[in-house]
Amino acid sequence: MAMGNGNGKTSGFTLVELMLALTLLGLVLSGGFTLYYFADRAFVEGTVTADIQADVQLAMRRIVDELRLAYYLELAPAPPADFGDDDDDHFIFVNDDGLVVLKTRVGEEVLTSLTRDVSRYRVTFAQAGDGLVNVKLEAVHPNVSYSLESDVEILNLYLEGIKGPSASSGVYYQRETGKIERPDARVREACLVTWLVGDDQEQDLDIFRRFRDNVLMKTGVGKRIVDWYYERSGQFIEALEQMPAAVAALKAALWAAAWVLRYPEPSAFIFGFGLVFLVGIVAVRRFRKPQEV
C-alpha cells in the first residue's frame, strides 16, 4: 500500500512488500517455535531418562542389599497367605501401577519413587545357581530403554536352598530366624565384618562387598578365601566378644582398608611415599659413619 505526499510522490510500503514482510516474519517465528519445541522436548526426554536410570539403579541397589542377607528366600508371584504374622516378613514385587514395592508388616515402600507418574517397571527373580538369585529390573517406557541385571549371592541362606519356581515376578524372604526355622536346618555363620561395623546398611560394607564380588569371587583362590571366611566368622565373633581392645583395633583397620579401597590412587601414593621415607631412614642410619671424638 502506498501513500501520497504533497509533491505527488508516494511513500510507505506497497501491499506486496507488506505481504512479503509478514511471510518472512511468519517463517522466523515458526522456526523459533520449532527450535524451542525440539529443545524443550529433548530437555524433557533427557530429564525423564536420567530419572528412570537413577530410579532403576537405586531400586536395584536396595533389592540387592535386602536379599543378600536373607535367611529364607522363596520365589513367588504373591506373598504367602499368612503374610504379616511375622515381623520379619518381606515381599518385593511390582504393583498395579507398575512400581517396584517392598511390602512388610507395617506397610509398603515404593523403591522406584522418582518416576511414579512417568514410567512403569518390570522385575524378574530367577534361580542362578546354588545360593544365587538373578535379579533383572527394567523400565517399561515408550521412549526410554534401560535395565539392570545382577546375580546376588544369598550369604546367610538356609542350606535347604532357594524355594519356589525357577523364576518369578516376586520374592518373599526373611532376614532373621523365625517361623520358618526348622530343627534340621542350619544357617551359615555370621559375617565378621558386618558384626564389627554394626550396621548392614553402612556404605563401607558396600565397598567390601564389591571387592569380594568383583575381585575375590573371580578366582578359585578368592572363592576359597571367601568360603573359609564365612565358615570361620562365627568363631572369630565368639572369641572377639571377650576382647574389646582387639575389636577396637579391628574396627580401625577396617576403616583404613575401606579408605584404601575407596581411594586407591591416593593410597598407593601415600604408601609409596611412606615406604621410600622408611627405606631412606634405614639407609641413613646404617651407612652413617660414627663421629670421631
- Tell me the pLDDT tens digit for each residue of 32-67: 666 655 555 554 556 788 888 888 999 999 999 999
Does the pLDDT of residue 275 top 70, yes or no? Answer: no
Average pLDDT, the chain: 78
Place of cell 531400586: 59
> Is 4 in contact with 10 (CB distance < 8 Å)?
yes
Confidence (pLDDT) at 260: 80
* Residue 69 burial class via C-beta count within 10 angstroms: exposed 0-12, middle 13-18, buried 19 and up: middle
Does the pLDDT of residue 220 top 90, yes or no? Answer: no
List, for residues 141-186, the tens digit of each pLDDT value.
888 889 999 999 888 787 678 999 999 999 999 987 554 544 443 3
Confidence (pLDDT) at 8: 54
List, for residues 175-214, the tens digit of each pLDDT value.
875 545 444 433 444 577 777 777 655 667 777 777 877 7
Does the pLDDT of residue 284 top 80, yes or no? Answer: no
Place of cell 519413587: 113
List, for residues 236-270, the tens digit of each pLDDT value.
888 888 888 888 888 888 888 877 877 777 766 67
CA 16 – CA 162 distance, rounded (Å): 82
* Residue 162 burial class via C-beta count within 10 angstroms: exposed 0-12, middle 13-18, buried 19 and up: buried
Is the four-CA dihedral 91, 97, 98, 99 of positive or negative sign? negative
* Residue 156 burial class via C-beta count within 10 angstroms: exposed 0-12, middle 13-18, buried 19 and up: buried
Place of cell 518373599: 172
> What would the mean pLDDT of 224-245 be, rounded to a whole number?
82
Indicate the domain borders of the chain: 12-188, 189-293
> Is 121 in contact with 95 (CB distance < 8 Å)?
no
Q: Count other C-beta atoms under 10 Å from residue 78's C-beta.
A: 12
Highest-scoring range by mean pLDDT, 11-25, 127-141, 245-259, 270-284: 127-141
Highest-scoring range by mean pLDDT, 102-106, 129-133, 160-164, 259-263: 102-106
Place of cell 511471510: 23
Cut 0.95: pTM above it: no
Confidence (pLDDT) at 45: 59
Highest-scoring range by mean pLDDT, 2-6, 124-128, 206-210, 225-229: 124-128
CA 39 – CA 28 distance, rounded (Å): 16
Does the pLDDT of residue 279 top 70, yes or no? Answer: no
> What would the mean pLDDT of 132-140 be, rounded to a whole number?
93
Confidence (pLDDT) at 189: 45
- DSSP state letters, the chain: --EE-TTS-EES--HHHHHHHHHHHHHHHHHHHHHHHHHHHHHHHHHHHHHHHHHHHHHHHHHHHHHHT-SEEEE-SS--TTTTSSTT-EEEEE-TTS-EEEEETTEEEES--TTTTT-EEEEEEEEEETTEEEEEEEEE-SS---EEEEEEE-TT--TT--BS-SEES-EEEESS-STT--TT---PPPPHHHHHH--TT-HHHHHHHHHHHHTGGGSHHHHHHHHHHHHHHHHHHHHHTT-HHHHHHHHHHHHHHHHHHHSHHHHHHHHHHHHHHHHHHHHHHHHPPPPP-
> Is 63 in contact with 135 (CB distance < 8 Å)?
yes
* CA end-to-end distance (rounded Å), the chain: 117
List, for residues 56-99, the tens digit of each pLDDT value.
999 999 999 999 888 899 999 999 998 988 888 999 999 999 99
Confidence (pLDDT) at 27: 74
Does the pLDDT of residue 106 top 80, yes or no? Answer: yes
Does the pLDDT of residue 286 top 90, yes or no? Answer: no
CA 13 – CA 30 distance, rounded (Å): 24
